[in-house]
Amino acid sequence: MRDFYGTTLSSGLMLGTAQYPSPAILAEAFQRSAASVATVSLRRESGQDRAGQDFWQLIRDLGVHVLPNTAGCHTVKEAVTTAQMAREVFDTPWIKLEVIGDADTLQPDVFGLVEAARILTEDGFQVFPYTTEDLVVADRLLDAGCEVLMPWGAPIGSGLGLNNVFGLRALRAHFPDVPLVIDAGLGLPSQAARAMELGFDAVLLNTAVAKAGDPAAMAKAFALAVRAGQLAAQADPMDPRDMAAPSTPLIGKAFLT
């Protein structure tokens, strides 16, 4: 597997920490997923209940890499400030950079994304940009200092899978040495396997596991799918063809008519 800013991950599954029925189910899902990375966020804390402190202890106990996000940020300034705050709280230079451009699709504002990525990279951050499959934007993000790209599969939380396989395949082919993560939109393990079969280095998902009827079981299903897809990609899949080709040899077939 390709390195992520010098870090080798133990699995190609990155898992979000939101929307689980309970902290215990979150922990069980992580354990069964063998995820190597947990995404987290920052929100307003109350001085009375201090909920964030308990959550932080739960995440530390998972023993995985922590990837803070800038979810919900719609401007460069918001995203940069949130990233600065996240770096201090989570003590990591990693940031999953989201600059949202459309409220309905949660599509990234790629112009703001490139600008924020440049500012953060120059400030020492290691940026994981949530982007589209657009090749030109990808180039600009790399120019801005990003060493990882995270194109969406489909809109966040939609569960639609890989909406533009052609575009994603082109992205993979265009940047063979850049670690690429499918971030968002996956709903089923088969879609995660497909992403890995296409040669992506990891998938990042949350809702598909957290909102399943049995999150821990679904986490295990995604773990197996990611591993299967990864093995398939390494095994150099056959090329598809339009016409049938018999797999059983015809030589030596009995003459029975």
Residues with catalytic roles: 96
Decide whether 68 or 161 has the Cβ nearer to another protein.
Answer: 68
CB of 117 to another protein, least distance (A): 18
CB of 138 to another protein, least distance (A): 22
DSSP H or E segment with residue 182: strand 181-183
The Cα 222–Cα 220 span in angstroms is: 5
DSSP H or E segment with residue 13: strand 13-16
CB of 122 to another protein, least distance (A): 16
Interface with another protein (CB under 8 A): 16-20, 39-48, 50-53, 55-56, 59, 68-69, 71, 77, 81, 84-86, 88-90, 156-157, 184, 206-207
The Cα 225–Cα 140 span in angstroms is: 32
- Return the structure tokens found at 216: 């821990």
Decide whether 34 or 42 has the Cβ nearer to another protein.
Answer: 42
Within 8 A by CB and 6+ apart from 117, the residues are 97, 127, 129, 141, 144, 145, 146
Decide whether 53 or 248 has the Cβ nearer to another protein.
Answer: 53
- Bridge pairing between strands 126-131 and 94-97: parallel
DSSP H or E segment with residue 85: helix 76-90
DSSP H or E segment with residue 56: helix 51-62
CB of 71 to another protein, least distance (A): 6
Within 8 A by CB and 6+ apart from 256, the residues are none
CB of 222 to another protein, least distance (A): 14
Decide whether 5 or 55 has the Cβ nearer to another protein.
Answer: 55
Yes or no: say if 94 and 66 are a contact pair by the CB < 8 Å rule: yes
Decide whether 53 or 257 has the Cβ nearer to another protein.
Answer: 53
